Chains A and B, each alone.
Chain A
Amino acid sequence: MIARKVTLIVLAWNRWDLTKRCLDSLSGTDLSGAEVLVVDNGSTDETPTALAGYSSIRVLRNPQNLGFVRGNNAGIAAADPDSDVVLLNNDVEFRQADWLQRLRSCAHGDPKIGVVGCRLVLPDGRLLHAGTYILSDTVWGQQIGSLQKDVGQLTATRDVEGIVFACAYLRREVIHAIGPLSEDYRSYFEDTDYCLRAREAGFRVVLCGDVTLVHDEHGSTHGTDDFNPIFLASREVFRKKWAKALDGRYSRDLLWQSIMNFPTGYAISTREILRALDRAGVRVTYRYVYGPGTPFPVAEPQESADYLLNVLAQRGNSVRPPVAVVYGQGDVFRRNRGRRKVGFTMLEVDGFPPEWVRQANRMDEVWVPSEFNARGFRESGLKRPVSVIPLGVDPDYFHPGVRGFPNPAGEFVFLSSFEWGERKEPWLLLKVFNDEFTAGEPVRLVCKIINKDPQVHVRQEIAKLRLKESGGKVSFLFNREFPYYQLGSFYRSADCYVSTGRGEGWDMPLMEAMACGLPSIATDWGAHTEFVHEGIAYLLRVRKTIPAVAKCPYYEGFSWADPDPEHLRHLLRRVYENRGEAAARGAAAAREMAQRWTWDHAAGKITARLAALGV
């Protein structure tokens, strides 16, 4: 098949330094089948004369600055009418020789694809853009992944609501169908407008994750005085045109009462669930469920660092919404404000406390993430319907391509991440590892430990274990808190993940490590057996269940696992010595997590239950 011809349209207005950098870096890439057309938007600096020195470039000179939209439209009109078009800002730089071939190949991967964008990073390496979304509440476009350190996240090619037109591949078919950029805008919002029009016409808008350009954002408009008036005028045009349509993408309303702005498992998973529900067309309003009068009487910080989540928390809602989900410990189910009430919870032992069951029996239905918990709830006296709604993982942030920082000395690294306490049974792993290996072997256990209990002195407790200097080497990362988006990078710095706790309500770190392609060792008991099996991990045998003795009052009267130390010793050695087998299990785990256990899968189950509830 002959590749479609492409016209690269570089819009320039003054700032010859940027245009020169753009063109020079462009010339070092594979431009086969492409023509470069510079639209000089009435520059008054050296741009016109300097462009004359680039003989292979066609120049279209506008007599004055027509603005971003009309300038680009002039370029589209001047392009070969059979060619695809790539719109480029003059403040982008190219560091991938085959960027254009990748974009073209992506654009022609499916006849339905009309618009293709790419990842953009700032000159300092931070991610700037991996697609956009816009909410009808605020009509303010947001860039996905913006300002996160680039660790290789969001590299999959996927459908997005919009892209920024600093680099936009437009297939000729979409131009034929919907025309050029809307001249209702001078600059700003025209890109989102175009993407929404393309989607309305039946085309897919795609972010090509394996192309990354450097974008010195606003380099071409900085220094001008008219940024804000142009932006605000365009926003008003966009609001009138699209606000109703954007609102129409929601088919359900839901009140989500939980916790969001604390570093807890419920909070982290709430954030992911809310994002996935928004993608799934559920208009979610968030409210904090804890505070005075609850087991966690602390007020929640108002702001998260996430624009979407802040908007969800600020949405107004009725006093008694049609349906509300309380997602947290079962003793706050009573705070559910919905006409239809759902209680969503989990626990790490084989039953549920009587107060949780009492409150759960006042719900219309109960959700838990695992069959393990569904069984435990029923056996504890739950009479209401119970559904399994699994938690998930975000494969854009947890995948084998995320950049890790392995030990340059080549040591094999076992990694475990846990909160210090009885449930996680850390002394078992520390003792067994230290006994099984010697200091002379190139292997290390890294334990990321969290302790928030002032009555616990972790250093003393570890010292009591009397780990041998001559035994397996252990390093600790104590009370370090990494940005959540960087955790994939943390897992990718190790070779095997180990989770040897006595019981789990889900075990998100284990799932995240598996999604990153790490072979994992995990106790064969608890909620995580929902997603872990021998084909994709190493299951640690349990000798028996024993009474769950811990500070946590919720465990009283229930049991959890007693993992087998000898089997753990065997598994650690087996992974260490059979790295090919371990790597194959890790790779299989990553595939399975991405195929079956994403947050979008979780949101799909939630919307199905909402539909069953008649919402």
Chain B
Amino acid sequence: MRDADAAIARLEARVDHLEKRLAERSALLRSLTREVCDEDLLTMAFFAAGLPPLPRAGFGLRGWRETTALVPGDVEKTMKELWRSVTPPDFVETP
């Protein structure tokens, strides 16, 4: 009986710990949404979850994804991503 109580207590502590970490990570990602582009946010979220990052949507040779498929896009979103990828932070427009 005492073993069972101890196991439950351990699991509850574990759940508390995981919930706290999840809340911290959510808070961090929420704050990052104001600072980084969608692509970087996705990458960070994948890293934080212990997953490999998604391939970058490249605007240079480094992140290039060779494909023959056409990828639909929105001009405003694409151009803003492009400029953010090549522009020093000092020049990035504040929202």
**A405-B83, A407-B83 known; A480 and B78 CB under 8 Å?**
yes
Which residues of the other chain, A, contact B58 by a CB distance below 8 angstroms?
A: 476, 478
Closest approach, in angstroms, between the C-beta of B62 and any C-beta of chain A?
10
Which residues of the other chain, A, contact B79 by a CB distance below 8 angstroms?
A: 404-405, 490, 493
Tally A-B pairs: CB < 8 A.
Answer: 91
Cβ 8 A contact of B75, one of A407, A452, A473, A489: A489
Closest approach, in angstroms, between the C-beta of B63 and any C-beta of chain A?
10
Number of B residues with CB within 8 Å of any CB on chain A: 29
Which residues of the other chain, B, contact A483 by a CB distance below 8 angstroms?
A: 72, 74-75
Chain A interface mostly: mixed
B60:A475 contact, CB within 8 angstroms:
yes
Binary A-proximity of B60-75 (CB < 8 A = 1, otherwise 0): 1100111111111111
A409:B88 contact, CB within 8 angstroms:
yes
Chain A interface bracket (under 10, 10 to 19, 20 to 34, 35 or more): 35 or more
**Alpha-carbon separation in the docked complex, A409 to B93 (Å):** 9
Which residues of the other chain, B, contact A151 by a CB distance below 8 angstroms?
A: 75-76
A444:B71 contact, CB within 8 angstroms:
no
Closest approach, in angstroms, between the C-beta of A403 and any C-beta of chain B?
8
**Alpha-carbon separation in the docked complex, A473 to B74 (Å):** 23
Cβ 8 A contact of A459, one of B66, B88, B91: B66
**A408-B91, A409-B88, A444-B86 known; A462 and B70 CB under 8 Å?**
no
**A408-B87, A408-B93, A493-B79 known; A481 and B72 CB under 8 Å?**
yes
**Alpha-carbon separation in the docked complex, A481 to B59 (Å):** 14
Chain B interface mostly: loop
Cβ 8 A contact of A453, one of B64, B68, B80, B91: B68
Give 10 pairs: A residue, B residue, CB < 8 Å, sorted on A: A151-B76, A407-B86, A444-B86, A446-B82, A458-B66, A462-B61, A475-B60, A476-B64, A482-B75, A493-B75
Chain A residues within CB distance 8 Å of chain B: 149, 151, 263, 404-405, 407-410, 444, 446, 450-454, 457-459, 462-463, 473-483, 486-487, 489-490, 493
Additional A-B contacts beyond A473-B86, A476-B64 (16; CB < 8 A): A149-B76, A405-B76, A408-B91, A408-B92, A410-B91, A446-B82, A451-B68, A459-B61, A475-B86, A476-B61, A479-B67, A480-B71, A481-B71, A482-B72, A483-B72, A493-B79
Going nearest first, the 8 A-B pairs with the smallest beta carbon separation are: A405-B79, A409-B91, A481-B70, A459-B64, A486-B75, A475-B59, A489-B75, A409-B87
